[in-house]
Amino acid sequence: MNIRGRRTSVVGVSLLAPEAALAALQADPEVFSPLDEQPILVVDAGAPGASRVAERGRHLPCVLVGVAADLRRVPAEIGAAGFDILLTDEPGAPRPWVSAPGGLDAALDVLRTVVATRPFASVALVQLLRLSCQGDIRDAVVAESFAYSALQAGPEFAAWLDDHRRRRAARVHQRSAPPSRVDPSAPPASSAQTVPSAHPAQPIQPAQPAVLVEREGSVLTVVLNRPGRHNAVNTDLRDGLVAAFRLAALDDALTAIRLAGAGPSFSSGGDLTEFGSLPDPGRAHAVRTSRSIPLNLLASGVPATAYVHGLCIGAGAELPAFCTRVVAAPDATFRLPEIAMGLVPGAGGTASLPRRVGRHRAAHLILSGQPIGADQALAWGLVDAIEPRHGMPAADI
């Protein structure tokens, strides 16, 4: 990985020596941007001049990646420089480095593909993360919502939403289509067969609330309760959580909040059936910030412990990271899929995740879209403990 030439290609990713990157920027300041064909810049972090590229990279509209096969030759200041992601082949690399899953070549190829496919969302993400930890976490949540709203009006999300709706319509049509073959021995259809059964209809069960709230002593237990949908966050679940945290803010006797999920997963993230349902991005931003789950949790001022298990996707990973403590079951899996949709995280992930795992690892986790298990989440600090689900709130719901 010791680069001396102008450009070296590794699995489709152009790796530039720092001096070559600086020369390219001098010749054309817009060469690395989502408006060009190079929204990602990858340089050798151990070569002379890498720090100068990183300092300039803090303000570049591109994803800036530093790579090093051997961390022993990387200057110590590189970790605090302006790279968005730092990748290495070394296993168990210290923070802020990411030990490249499957090796540097494979990890770079994943990043190149994602950024090339979703350049506007990818660049917006790293720009958000660069400023996320510089101020109040609540301001970072609001900044994320602005970026999310802008991307909602962009071509990348529009393309994803159109494809998603097409595939959903195809699935509905397939489920409702009549059987393609008819049993010739079956009796012919008659009007008698369409007469409703004489047996009384089963009583309709009342709908369960999307959020269960129980106060025991000075502890408020809040349970996401859409188990059949893996606790996907829809309007009802969002409003239920907001109401629960506002209730907590009014109760001076509360000392703790316990947050958990019913069923096989903590949460599979936003309910895709509601994506794109608001009339315009401005209204969406207003709703997101006035009925914000993380902002209301923070405003309660009550220490919270999240007990997570199964799928923790999107909001299912972002929201627990706001809690004082996160306890994961061994089967917990964390994944951030929003970039593939042409969006950035929308439940506060660009504010909460970097405060737990650091900006560089948060950028890699979100950009790659790849899952990590409970052990890696613990090693990175995304969770604070791994415990069997038995005994957790809602473990038997």
Residue located via tokens 């602005």: 146
Quote the CA–CA distance of 267 and 285 in Å, as a whole number: 22
344: nearest Cα among 163, 81, 140: 140
Could you tell me how far CA 300 lies from the centroid of its own chain? 24
* β-pairing verdict for 13-16 and 8-10: antiparallel
Q: How far is CA 263 from CA 203, 311, 323, in A?
A: 24, 11, 21
Strands (E), the chain: 8-10, 13-16, 40-44, 63-68, 85-88, 98-99, 211-216, 219-224, 256-261, 304-308, 311-313, 325-328, 333-335, 372-373, 385-386
Q: What is the 3-state secondary structure (H, E, C) of 247-265?
A: HHHHCCCCCEEEEEECCCC
Quote the CA–CA distance of 126 and 366 in Å, as a whole number: 10
Active-site residue among 19, 144, 156, 318? Answer: 318
Neighbours of 139 (CB within 10 A): 13
Identify whether 318 is a catalytic site residue.
yes
Q: Is there a cis peptide before residue 96, judged by omega within 30 degrees of 0?
A: yes
Phi, psi values for residue 148, rounded to 5°? -60, -45
Q: How far is CA 366 from CA 41, 110, 111, 289, in A?
A: 17, 12, 10, 22
Quote the CA–CA distance of 287 and 295 in Å, as a whole number: 12
Neighbours of 186 (CB within 10 A): 7
Could you tell me how far CA 346 lies from the centroid of its own chain? 8
Identify whether 90 is a catalytic site residue.
no
Could you tell me how far CA 206 lies from the centroid of its own chain? 33
Question: Which residues carry out catalysis?
Answer: 318, 338
